[in-house]
Amino acid sequence: MLPLILSMLLALTLLWPAETLALPSSGAELFDLHCAGCHPNGGNIIRRGKTLKLKALEQQGINNAEAIAAIARTGIGQMSGYAEALGEGNDVIVADWIWEQAQKAWIQG
């Protein structure tokens, strides 16, 4: 009976789409999955002035990763919150990554 159950689990694992099995593990992956569609390279395709660039963040009074995490969770202005989509604790991970990118002027490397 056990070999049959293991075989079924293996078959399900092989048939299941890979992207649903691997959870994002880094801020960059979370950003690509949930944020980059509207904020490519820290920009904003919806509202040009509401970017994730350091100057724009500071003009809005956003001066640390915790403030970014709060916005990621609850939303701001036209942007909805992503608490459920990001999952518990991932708001902090992606916010830390965004803040780091803002500090580096979104220059990768």
pLDDT score for 8? 56
pLDDT score for 45? 95
**pLDDT range class, residue 99, cuts 50, 70, 90:** very high
Task: Kindly report the pTM of this predicted structure.
Answer: 0.77
The domains located in the chain, with CATH, are 25-103 (1.10.760.10)
Residue 71, judged by CB atoms within 10 A of its CB (0-12, 13-18, 19+), counts as: buried
pLDDT score for 25? 75
The angle subtended at Cα 43 by Cα 40 and Cα 46, nearest 5°, is: 95
pLDDT in tens, 38-62: 999 999 999 999 999 999 999 999 9
Quote the CA–CA distance of 53 and 44 in Å, as a whole number: 10
pLDDT score for 85? 94
Name 69's Cβ contacts closer than 8 Å, sequence gap at least 6. Answer: 91, 92, 94, 95, 96
